[in-house]
Amino acid sequence: MSEPVIKTEKLTKRFGDFIAADALSFDVMPGEIFGFLGANGAGKTTAMRMLCGLSKPTSGEATVAGYDVYRETDLIKKNIGYMSQKFSLYEDLTVVENIRFYAGIYGLTDKAIREKSEALLDQLGMTHEAKKLVSELPLGWKQKLSFSVAVIHQPKVVFLDEPTGGVDPVTRRQFWDLIYDASDKGMTVFVTTHYMDEAEYCNRVSIMVDGRIDALDSPQNLKKQFSVHSMDEVFYQLARGAKRTAD
């Protein structure tokens, strides 16, 4: 068994008296699709920021891609990818300009960038659209491009923040094909969402309530444990008791 890619031990973040993330302990294995669920205000964003090296934990330990979240945040940033539904692509740049920009951020050489862009366009079947503005693309394509750009530097972990909200069912499945493919190649996929249908696609999911992780298992086992038929009901049973209501 290989080493976990994300490993946290009692990871905690306080803002004054408020405990945003309360002693989180979990491991995520290479190639795993890990769902990170919770209601608004449950602490998902705080936890994810700590793992991405954007926010210093108050106490506890965590490593991402083998690097410490306190001291090695620069190395973490080099080894992770990030995609949120809204902000990943520049609408007023062309497809190929976006690709080059992101490749450039991660310090790829000019030659590597050119090769990468071509390979990527080919793989996405978007060679003819290379010079089109991103704003002209259909939503589904944007999303695929967005994901491909997020993993252009072949990170060990990619964080997806509510990646498929508002997308039609066919496009959504094409998107999950990409995720499965990435995971098949050994990339760890960390998905935060509060939509349960997305959760069912994950290998394992954790559910946060009021800053704590209240459940962590495969969707199948969780459904068995709560004797219900859908993740939605599992979530409902857990989150109903939540005290926090802040966004």
Paired sense of beta strands 59-64 and 67-68, if any: antiparallel
Query: Counting contacts by CB under 8 A, is residue 92 touching another protein?
Result: no
- Could you report how far apart the first and last alpha carbons of the chain are, in Å? 39
CB of 245 to another protein, least distance (A): 4
In degrees to the nearest 10, what's the CA dihedral of 163, 51, 183, 111?
90
Query: Counting contacts by CB under 8 A, is residue 123 touching another protein?
Result: no
Residue 27, CA atoms < 13 Å, CB-side half-sphere = 7
Query: Counting contacts by CB under 8 A, is residue 186 touching another protein?
Result: no
Q: What is the spatial distance between Cα 223 and Cα 101, in angstroms, rounded to a whole number?
A: 43
Give CA separation, 207 vs 52, 91, 169, 216, in Å.
Answer: 19, 34, 24, 6
Query: Counting contacts by CB under 8 A, is residue 135 touching another protein?
Result: no
Query: Counting contacts by CB under 8 A, is residue 220 touching another protein?
Result: yes
Query: Counting contacts by CB under 8 A, is residue 36 touching another protein?
Result: no
Size of the site for another protein (CB under 8 A): 37
Asked if 77 contacts 53 with a C-beta cutoff of 8 angstroms, the reply is yes
Query: Counting contacts by CB under 8 A, is residue 245 touching another protein?
Result: yes
DSSP H helical ranges for 151-243: 169-184, 196-199, 219-225, 231-239
Retrieve residue 70's tokens: 């306190």
Q: Kindly tell me which of 59 and 135 has the beta carbon lying closer to another protein.
A: 135
- Choosing from 119, 127, 139, 186, the residue that interacts with another protein (CB under 8 A) is 139
Asked if 181 contacts 165 with a C-beta cutoff of 8 angstroms, the reply is no
Query: Counting contacts by CB under 8 A, is residue 136 touching another protein?
Result: no
Query: Counting contacts by CB under 8 A, is residue 194 touching another protein?
Result: yes
Binding-residue pattern over the window 196 to 215 for another protein, x denoting contact by CB under 8 A: xx--xx--------------
Contacting another protein within 59-78 (CB under 8 A): none
Q: Kindly tell me which of 127 and 236 has the beta carbon lying closer to another protein.
A: 236
Give residues in contact with another protein (CB under 8 A): 39-41, 139, 165-171, 173, 176-177, 180-181, 183-184, 194-197, 200-201, 218-220, 231-232, 235-236, 239-240, 242, 245-247
